[in-house]
Structure 1
Amino acid sequence: MAALPEEDVGEDFTANESSTTNLAGPDPNRRKPRVLLAACGCQAAKNFGLVCQSFTTWAEVRAVITNDAWHFVNRSFLPLDGSVTFHPDSDQWVFWQRNGRGLHVELQKWADIMVIFPLSANTIAKMLGGLCDNLLTSIVRAWDYEKTLYAVPSMEPSMWNTPLAERQIQSLRELGSTVIVKCGEIPDGITLHDALSEYVRVQCI
């Protein structure tokens, strides 16, 4: 597995509406935003392939799928045309063997934006505790919070409606994550995956 391309790393995709670039219109020579998508092990991961498809319409996409998430992902939805590079947890060791450094660092540098959808209760706890026992949590541990990290939690109502969940969501925001906790926080759309993609696109371009 070769090292990821490093050209244009860190280009600003969060310019505000008053920027001269926006006033002058889109630059046809500007590269697409690089979006790192990630899925955790919970039921909502079944539609992760549709999320990937939605983001590929305007962004360059790589996707991290945890071992637990693979149990839920509907693989028939995954775009297998080469438009998305998928990274299972096993890629971390393979990349290390071939390049002598961690894939999590390379992906963190490569990405302009990260979107974790769905984010499980278990991974929330790992993030806040600083654990890095798989590729996703290692990326989060190394994440540069000058770049946006969108977190979209998903859990059962019995787990969600608790003081602990409320405190954890607040802690994620204090960490620097942009947390989307209700569908109403993103524009109305026919599907959640399309609405999420449009929300991120509008925020970063």
Structure 2
Amino acid sequence: MGDSVEVKVVTTDAALHFYDPKDVLAEVLTDQHEWNAWKKMSDPVMHIQLRNWADMFIICPLDANTLAKVAQGLCDNLITCILRAWDERRPVIVCPAMNTNMWNHKFTAIHLSTLTDVLNYRVILPISKLLACGDLGVGAMAEYRTIVDEIKEQVELLNANNA
């Protein structure tokens, strides 16, 4: 694997509640960036540009809302529009994170099945620990090292396929 990768962060407005984009050492893009970039028919469309640029798409964390949207094929924000236009030959890794009750809900199993069995996405399962809501249980995003190891494995596969 090479020494560096280029990362762009695409975030939902709701996710901005949890972090400040100024603290991120990468370009952070929101829905507003897409709409600000597009004024007329000949202008570039950001979700298509990002789809064409990226070799891999990682949703980390994947909340229950975005999981449901992706599984149903909805595309009402920058993230879901990129995925709806995504080249299915390129890997997608998702890292679910949600309350234990949401994780155990039947819809979650149905939606994850769509992502894995239909869309061929890689799912890094959540772990059990104290959650943001104060509950203790399964639903916390996997440890970062687990996620990084999966990303490295996918990069190596991409490099081997492009060699």
- 1:176 aligned onto 2:127: no
Q: 1:101 to 1:125 in 2, by over 3 A?
A: same
Secondary structure in 1 matching 2:34: helix
* Structure 2: runs of 5+ lacking an equivalent: 129-141, 157-163
- 1:113 aligned onto 2:56: yes
Letter in 2 for 1:193: Y
* Structure 1: runs of 5+ lacking an equivalent: 1-25, 27-31, 33-56, 185-190
The percentage of aligned residue pairs carrying the same residue is: 32
Aligned length: 141
CA contact (8 A) 2:37 2:45 kept: yes
Letter in 2 for 1:96: W
What corresponds to 2:93 in structure 1? 150
Secondary structure in 1 matching 2:13: coil
Q: What is the alpha-carbon distance in structure 1 between the residues aligned to residue 106 and residue 91 of structure 2?
A: 26
CA RMSD of aligned residues (A): 2.3
Letter in 1 for 2:9: A
What corresponds to 2:18 in structure 1? 72
Q: Give 4+ residue runs of structure 1 displaced > 4 Å after superposition.
A: 74-77
Letter in 2 for 1:73: Y
What corresponds to 2:146 in structure 1? 195
Counterpart mapping for 1:90-105 below 5 A: 90-97=32-39, 100-105=43-48
Once the two structures are TM-superposed, the CA of residue 198 in structure 1 deviates from its matched residue by 2.8
Q: What is the alpha-carbon distance in structure 2 between the residues aligned to residue 158 and residue 182 of structure 1?
A: 13
Counterpart mapping for 1:1-205 below 5 A: 58-75=4-21, 77-79=23-25, 84-97=26-39, 100-173=43-116, 174-182=118-126, 192-205=143-156
TM-score (norm 2): 0.77
Q: What is the alpha-carbon distance in structure 1 between the residues aligned to residue 21 and residue 8 of structure 2?
A: 16
Higher relative contact order (CA 8 A, sep 6+): 1
